[in-house]
Amino acid sequence: MIHLQNIEKVYRTDTVETLAINGINLNIAKGEFLSIMGPSGCGKSTLLNIMGLLDEPSKGKISIDEQDLSRFSDQQLAKFRNQKLGFIFQSYHLINDLRVLDNVELPLLYRTSSTKERKMLASAALEKVGLSNRLKHFPTQLSGGQRQRVAIARAIVGNPQIILADEPTGNLDSAMGNEIMEILINLNRNEGTTIVMVTHDENMANKTHRLVRLFDGSQVQ
């Protein structure tokens, strides 16, 4: 599903070069639930951003769903992200000026779909995460766990094949974290969604199919 070949990422300033990722090779199968762990600054999020096509590798090749993405234009990458990928972030990244339903609809705005269809799909996604009674609320009126569930609904509304989650339980207490983890596990199990999750939490990582450990930008496990 996702193939990373000798991925390297170097951040350059006028005076300093920082090697964030060094020669990562990784194959993630369809339907796999993979977690990435490592200390802060080891390159986990950078690797996830590269998989999510939000960042370009300095070297190496990435292909998703057997498509070589290195020659995709900005427009093509945007379309690919919209149709194939779903993102969940530690800080939720909800738009506070939009209601829950409108937040979940967002990915569908960049597709050809009618208002009615968007509303239907967004409502269904919110129902999946148990928030069908919070459609008209604003994010600021929700708890952290509820916000993360809205973010999950937004990630799955477009029915993507892959979900990339960057510390989805990082801002939550353990009970809320477990609830979120349950949702992700169910998504993986029931819908066959491939999930790549960055986490600091060993317990959460242990619930996934496979664990990849990074240290100083290199894969150590």
Q: Which residues bind other proteins (CB under 8 A)?
A: 45-46, 49, 52, 54-55, 74-75, 77-79, 81-83, 87, 89, 91, 93, 95, 97-98, 102, 105-107, 109-111, 115, 154, 158
Minimum CB separation from other proteins for residue 116, in Å? 12
Minimum CB separation from other proteins for residue 84, in Å? 10
* Cα distance between residue 33 and residue 52, in whole Å: 15
- In three-state form (DSSP H/G/I as H, E/B as E, the rest C), the secondary structure along 43-73 is CHHHHHHHHCCCCCCCEEEEEECCEECCCCC
Of 144 and 211, the one with the shorter C-beta distance to other proteins is: 144
208 token code pair: 């996934």
Of 120 and 220, the one with the shorter C-beta distance to other proteins is: 120
Minimum CB separation from other proteins for residue 75, in Å? 5
The full length of the chain comes to 221
Of 13 and 206, the one with the shorter C-beta distance to other proteins is: 13
184 token code pair: 């992700």
85 token code pair: 């990928």
* Cα distance between residue 87 and residue 107, in whole Å: 10
- Angle between the 144-156 and 100-109 helix axes, to the nearest 10 degrees? 30
Phi/psi region, residue 93 (left: phi>0; alpha: psi -120 to 50; beta: rest), is left
Minimum CB separation from other proteins for residue 85, in Å? 8
Of 107 and 177, the one with the shorter C-beta distance to other proteins is: 107
Of 164 and 181, the one with the shorter C-beta distance to other proteins is: 164
Minimum CB separation from other proteins for residue 87, in Å? 5
